[in-house]
Amino acid sequence: MRHSLAQSIGVLRRMFASPLAGSLNILVIGIALSLPAGMYVLLQNAEGMVAQLSGTAQISLFMAMDANADDADKLRKQLEKHPAISRVEFVARAQALEQLKRSTGLADVIGGLNQNPLPDAFIVYPKPSAVPTLEALRNELEKLPKVEQAQLDSAWAYKLEALLKFGRMVVLILASLLSLALIAITFNTIRLQILTQRDEIEVAKLIGATNGFIRRPFLYFGATQGLLGGAMAWLIITISLLLLNYQLSGLSQLYASQFVLHMLSPGDSLTLLLFSMYLGWLGAWLSVARHLSEIEPRMFPSRSRS
């Protein structure tokens, strides 16, 4: 334990032996990690905002023209008992006609009709579900007795789901590419350190040091550099969101709403730090495994006997 602590302190000293180079490495890692992580945070906020703007999905059930009050009452009871439906609203034929008169401004034309052409209807509010589930529910409700047609306002849902799916794929690709770049940065940094300390490693091997003993400080270095890079990424994202929220406050007042970008949750923050530390450790492990096996202790030649 004491030896590991000493090695950790030595890693920090080595990392900041050249403060500018060490700080630049951490800054590069932080910027690279902040791009996919920041896009992930914005995507999470966009999902919440668009859900509020889009409202709740609705399924309109239009009853047959020959349906009576008893049929409507039976259908209401069936809908209220359905586990996938949160609430139901009944719109009578007369009420629908009055709403049509007010919304279209054609009261004189509608008033000249001999009979009401609109059927009784139910507005069904399903519980939050994926689009395929809503479509299946619509098909199920359309088969109920005295239901002439069931209509799902799902165009916005399809567009939203496609857009969010595209955004998730962009974040995944970007995160994968930048993760490889961070592994390459750590790989190269450790390679330079191994080459710089080649003589020390050879001497350590001569006196019996194992590869695991020699490898440990470099792994500590990579993990520590990755962790500090993750902390830098968290700081960049937090400051950026604070600045964006400051600008959004004025925009929200203009639209009489409250748009607020939420920060990284504690779970996401911990995931970011652990992931960045793992990338640093992985890059260091690959570099050590690649170059340490090439270093063999050089034995001093023995003097020839006279």
Most confident by average pLDDT, 13-27, 62-76, 207-221? 62-76
Architecture of domain 58-153: 2-Layer Sandwich (3.30)
Query: Could you tell me which residue, 161 or 276, shows the higher pLDDT?
Result: 276
Question: E strands of 145-299, at which residues?
Answer: 147-152
pLDDT exceeding 70 applies to what percent of the chain?
75
pLDDT of residue 277: 93
d(Cα 63, Cα 149) in Å, to the nearest integer?
Answer: 7
| pLDDT interval class at 306 (50, 70, 90) | very low
pTM over 0.75? The answer is: no
Query: Could you tell me which residue, 1 or 24, shows the higher pLDDT?
Result: 24
Query: Could you tell me which residue, 181 or 50, shows the higher pLDDT?
Result: 181
- Domain parsing of the chain, residue ranges: 2-53+158-294, 58-153
Q: Can you list the alpha helix ranges (DSSP code H) found in 59-124? A: 69-81, 93-104, 107-111
Helix axes 155-196, 131-142, angle to 10 degrees: 160
Task: Please compute the mean of the pLDDT values over residues 226-251 and round it to a whole number.
Answer: 87
Q: Are strands 59-63 and 147-152 parallel, antiparallel or unpaired?
A: antiparallel
pLDDT of residue 282: 93
d(Cα 20, Cα 39) in Å, to the nearest integer?
Answer: 29
Residue 298 has pLDDT above 80, yes or no: no
pLDDT of residue 304: 43
Tens of pLDDT, residue by residue over 157-207, are 667 777 878 888 988 898 899 889 889 888 888 888 888 877 777 787 778
